[in-house]
Amino acid sequence: MERREVVFVDGVRTAFGRAGPQGIFWKTRGDDMAVKVVRELIRRNPAIPVERIGDVIFAATAQVGDQGLTLGRDVALLSGIPQSVPGFAVDRMCAGALTAVTAGAGEIAYGACDVVLAGGVEHMGHHPMAEEVDFNPRFVAERLVDTSAVTMGATAENLHDRFPQITKQDADAYAVRSQQRAAEAWQNGVMRATVVPMTVFTGDGWKSAERDEFLRPDTSMEGLANLRTPFRPGGRVTAGNSAGLTDGATAAFLAAEETARELGLAPKMRLVAFAFAGVEPELMGIGPIPATKRVLGQTGLGLDDIGLFELNEPFAVQVLTWCDGMGVDPGDERLNPYGGAIACGHPLAATGVRLMAQLAYGFQERPHVRYGLTALCVGMGMGAALLWENLGAGH
């Protein structure tokens, strides 16, 4: 049997909220956030009969509490998808939604499914990072990993140590650019096309969660210069050049290319190849470098063939190390044209589909671009990279 081609049909997300009691989603369940994006995805794509969905795959890093009941099945049932449609949960931390997509793509490629619904959710307010994790003492006792590996901000400081040419000023300048580009994206359409407003209950009554809570369009170098460095005295990583702790959910439809034709869908992009890679856990931010090289090696494409990059921004220094390792100028117009996680937030397992939805919109705006990349680093020392082909005309 020949492998079937897999296409990305559509992807949506909630607004991304500030984690904690002051955040818009504090009184909202994590699984209900996932249900919202699933229902909206189904509403937006009426040509896909829900009974044709072959699997529902949802990722979360904290698979406990309101994110703990085999999320894919849980969310499918709560969303009104027929009971005949199965579901499951995955965890690859920050690459959760990316892994949900690649797992679903494998099912489609092998003919097990025609359509897959994949996404991720992370309520970091309800489930702070590592709060309910019991780390094996062998990690430290046998020096399997450096103790800094479990604190993401500490790994970002380690990157500054390893790449001393990347200064705090460089990181702050990148953060300012991310905020400016995200502000433009909210004005110009990409966010309206991908963000699903959600009515939520708060301490002040019912409100609409419709805008990312970390947006600071007036961010300046002067404002960032004197922020405290919580991970190290005199360090270089601050709240201003990092993604905040975030609540959010994402969901996407994938389909076999032949099924998309049968149903009359207009898919936005085709999955060309994907790769995951492992690196030193205490330097997890360099993970996208070997993953990107691996996926390019699979396809024979070069970096110059890629017209758009959607790279996650947990820390500015992490993006800058990828730029250094891949030979890309941080100001390159191909890189995160709509801003990134420094401006919108990074709800761990949900982020991957945000990157895809923004890439798909970028393809639509740039029909001359043929290939794009979605990539991110992953806690405990990993990287992920997915290569996509623009299905729009003109390239």
Catalytic residue numbers, as ranges: 94, 346, 377
d(CA 48, CA 111): 17
Rounded to 5 degrees, φ, ψ at 351 are -60, -35
Q: Is the dihedral of CA 345, 223, 338, 211 positive or negative?
A: positive
Phi/psi region, residue 166 (left: phi>0; alpha: psi -120 to 50; beta: rest), is beta
Contact between 388 and 372 (Cβ < 8 Å): yes
d(CA 322, CA 295): 15
Torsion, CA 66, CA 70, CA 76, CA 77, rounded to 10: -80
Tell how strand 205-209 and strand 198-202 pair up.
antiparallel
d(CA 128, CA 62): 8
d(CA 188, CA 191): 8
d(CA 85, CA 209): 29
The C-alpha angle with vertex 52 and arms to 51 and 53, in degrees rounded to 5, equals: 90
d(CA 154, CA 149): 7
- Please write down the HEC assignment for all residues of 250-301: EEEEEEEHHHHHHHCCCCCEEEEEEEEEECCHHHHHHCHHHHHHHHHHHHCC
The 3-state DSSP class for residue 123 equals: strand
Q: How far is CA 135 from the centre of its chain?
A: 25
Rounded to 5 degrees, φ, ψ at 101 are -70, -45
